[in-house]
Amino acid sequence: MKPIALAIITLLVLASTFAFLIRDLWLPGDENATIPPDMELSEFDKCIADGNPMMKSLPAQCAWPNGTVVVDPTMPEPPVADPVACTMDAKICPDGSAVGRVPPSCAFAPCPGDDFLACEAAGNPVMESYPRQCRWENGTTVTEVIPE
């Protein structure tokens, strides 16, 4: 019985090896299962194929274990808004401080204490600090004026 068992094991090993070697050439229902030998993979594709994490960004990025990040070359770069340059003049506020212009509209930033109630009434977030501060949509922060 030993020669028969040895022959069966040998046949199973040979069949498994053969199936492993041709697995990329024959996958039922998938005609595009192989990568043509003349096709070069991008660094991004190699990174993903190696099982490294893909970052959900635009464009997509993949991180190698050593920290190197590669970008998907097939995705377009996101459009970049034209930078806005505002004049460098300043507005002197009633408390003596000065504020500059804020892109993209280049309007003067509100003076400290000005518009705190308007900012709060508009539903903008108020930071619970002392004195409280409110942040406009454009990122400008106004501070509540505390009467002395």
For residues 95 and 138, membership in a common domain is answered with yes
For residues 137 and 95, membership in a common domain is answered with yes
In a domain, 86, yes or no: no
Q: How far is CA 118 from CA 28, 89, 126, 144, in A?
A: 67, 25, 12, 11
Q: 60 pLDDT exceeds 70? A: yes
For residues 139 and 97, membership in a common domain is answered with yes
In a domain, 98, yes or no: yes
In a domain, 132, yes or no: yes
DSSP-derived secondary structure for 85-100: ------EE-TTS-EE-
For residues 9 and 30, membership in a common domain is answered with yes
For range 79-101, the mean pLDDT: 83
What pLDDT shows up at residue 27? 47
For residues 107 and 139, membership in a common domain is answered with yes
Q: 25 pLDDT exceeds 70? A: no
Total domains in the fold of the chain: 3
In a domain, 13, yes or no: yes
pLDDT tens by residue, 99-129? 899 888 888 887 766 677 778 877 888 888 8
Range of the domain at 125: 91-143
pTM over 0.85: no
For residue 89, what pLDDT band results from cuts at 50, 70 and 90? Answer: very high
For residues 40 and 70, membership in a common domain is answered with yes
Which 3 state secondary structure label does DSSP give 116?
helix
Q: How far apart are CA 17 and CA 91, in angstroms?
A: 80
In a domain, 148, yes or no: no
For residues 46 and 69, membership in a common domain is answered with yes
For residues 42 and 67, membership in a common domain is answered with yes
In a domain, 84, yes or no: no
Q: How far apart are CA 53 and CA 112, in angstroms?
A: 46
